[in-house]
Structure 1
Amino acid sequence: MATLDDLRRTALTLPGSEERATTGGAAWFVRGKLYAWECHPWPSIPADMREIIAAELVVGVKVADTFDALALVEMAPDVFLRTTTTWGEPKVAFRLAGIDEEHLAELVTEAWRVQAPKYLRREFDDVGV
């Protein structure tokens, strides 16, 4: 089971990544663009999703497109939640307790890639070589 500390460790390895405290909890940004966040049970979230978010730690991440989010939800509907907000950008939320550390690192890194500028992605890829 992954934790927020695991998410923090992954985020620390990503160039330009920074953690900020927000009203809803911790959030991670790259060059001012949000890529991962602790979900908060805001009133605008559908009631069934709000109950889950109020009861356990749920994390949201950006994804490349809506199809990626739908594929994750279909793959593990007990872990990945259907959309939690009416915002139009592609994202997916998931129960942190249902994700292992390796999958969390993959989700967070891919979310960072969606938001990071090309020069930071190149920097990250060059270090990994």
Structure 2
Amino acid sequence: MATLDDLRRTADALPGSEERATTGGAAWFVRGKLYAWECHPWPSIPADVRAIIASELVVGVKIADGLDALALREMQPEVFLGATTAWGEPKVAFRMAGIDDDHLAELVTEAWRVQAPRYLRREFDETGR
């Protein structure tokens, strides 16, 4: 089971990544663009998803394409939640209890890639960090 500390370790290794405290919990940005966040049970979220978010740790990440989010939800519906809000699409939210460290690192890194400027992606690719 992955934790927020695991997410922090991955995010800390990404160039330009910055963690900020928000009203909903921790969130990670690259050059001012949100790429990963701790989900909060806002009233605008559908009741079934809101109940899950209120009872366990759920994280959201940006996704390159809405079809990728749909594929993740269909492959592991017990881990990847249905739509939360329309804001910030495409994105996907997942139960941290159902994610292993390697998959978390992949999701966070890809979310960072979606939001990071080209020069930071190039720096990461060239240095492996």
TM-score bin (small chain): over 0.9
State the TM-score, normalized to the length of structure 1: 0.98
Aligned-partner Cα distance in 2 for 1:57–1:69: 19
User: Which whole-Å deviations, capped at 9, do the CAs of 1:40-76 have from their partners, x for residues lacking one?
Assistant: 0000000000000000000000000100000000110
Query: Number of aligned pairs?
Result: 129
Match of 1:111 in 2: 111
User: Which whole-Å deviations, capped at 9, do the CAs of 1:101-125 have from their partners, x for residues lacking one?
Assistant: 0000000000000000000000000
Report SS of the residue matched to 2:15: coil
Q: CA deviation at 1:128?
A: 1.5
Q: CA deviation at 1:89?
A: 1.8
Where do 5+ consecutive residues of structure 2 fail to align?
none
Report SS of the residue matched to 1:81: coil
1:1-129 aligned at under 5 Å gives the runs: 1-87=1-87, 89-128=89-128
Q: Percent identity?
A: 84
State the TM-score, normalized to the length of structure 2: 0.98
Q: CA deviation at 1:33?
A: 0.1
Aligned-partner Cα distance in 2 for 1:93–1:12: 20
Aligned-partner Cα distance in 1 for 2:89–2:73: 16
Where do 5+ consecutive residues of structure 1 fail to align?
none
Root-mean-square deviation (CA, aligned residues, Å) is 1.0
